Amino acid sequence: MTHPLRVGVLALQGDVREHLAMLEASGVEAVPVRRAEELGSLDGLVLPGGESTTMSKLARTFDLLEPLRQAAKDGLPMFGTCAGMIMLADRIEGGTADQETIGGLDVVVRRNAFGRQVDSFEADLDVARLGEVFHAMFIRAPWVEGVGPDVEVVATVATGPATGRIVAVRQGHLLATSFHPEVTGDARIHEVFVEIVRDAAS
């Protein structure tokens, strides 16, 4: 490899720092990204959790929405967590009237799906790719209500009332989770993304 893999974290709003730390722990150079010109130097991009309506507005204001859409179309690997998952969805339920997304994932994502009153909770997940349980943290999380034919279901809830709900998906170079893998000190999901980035770069 001629240069270390460089992965950005969209830093308009949300939990940017935690993702930067997880990416560094997964062995890549991690940088915050705020301007369209920065996209060209990246091997991958994380869209963090936060508030998708705000993120969408800021992306529009900073002239990032179209460049992000183009980068996703051009094959830049992207990993969206929670609000970031909503940003990658082609269709959303429970969004605001003017809420725009980057899109690229052929899924329907429902915002605040576990109930608005359920602020945050933890649950064990079945993660097909890892072959073992992953303990996940959800914060006002969406879930995936429907997936297109090219979408791989990566994780479902393993216990409790939401058992079976889809909470992680992958479609080619795009990965998304409704939970926050950056806050539980377990880098395995970030490592899955770094593998996607590495494959795309080689």
**Catalytic residue list:** 82, 180, 182
Spatial separation of the C-alpha atoms in residues 9 and 32, rounded to whole Å? 5
Print the binding letters for residues 138-167 with ligand GLN: x by CB under 6 A, - otherwise: -xx---------------------------
Q: How many residues bind to ligand GLN according to rule CB under 6 A?
A: 11
Q: Which stretch binds ligand GLN (CB under 6 A): 4-12, 46-54, 126-134, 148-156?
A: 46-54
Cβ count within 10 A of residue 6: 17
User: Which residue in the set 51, 100, 145, 191 belongs to the binding site for ligand GLN (CB under 6 A)?
Assistant: 51
For the bound state, the minimum distance from the C-beta of residue 112 to ligand GLN, rounded and expressed in Å, comes to 5
According to the binding rule CB under 6 A, does residue 52 interact with ligand GLN?
A: yes
For the bound state, the minimum distance from the C-beta of residue 118 to ligand GLN, rounded and expressed in Å, comes to 11
According to the binding rule CB under 6 A, does residue 50 interact with ligand GLN?
A: yes
Please give the torsion angle defined by the CA atoms of residues 130, 194, 35 and 10, in that order, rounded to the nearest 10 degrees.
30
**Beta strand pairing call for 152-157 and 6-10:** unpaired
Considering Cα of 110, then 115, then 118, then 124, what sign does the dihedral take?
negative
According to the binding rule CB under 6 A, does residue 86 interact with ligand GLN?
A: yes
Contact 178, 200 (CB under 8 A): no
According to the binding rule CB under 6 A, does residue 8 interact with ligand GLN?
A: no
Spatial separation of the C-alpha atoms in residues 44 and 136, rounded to whole Å? 23
Print the binding letters for residues 101-120 with ligand GLN: x by CB under 6 A, - otherwise: ----------xx--------
Among 79, 15, 92, 10, residue whose Cα is nearest residue 53: 92
User: Which residues would be at the binding site for ligand GLN (CB under 6 A)?
Assistant: 49-52, 82-83, 86, 111-112, 139-140
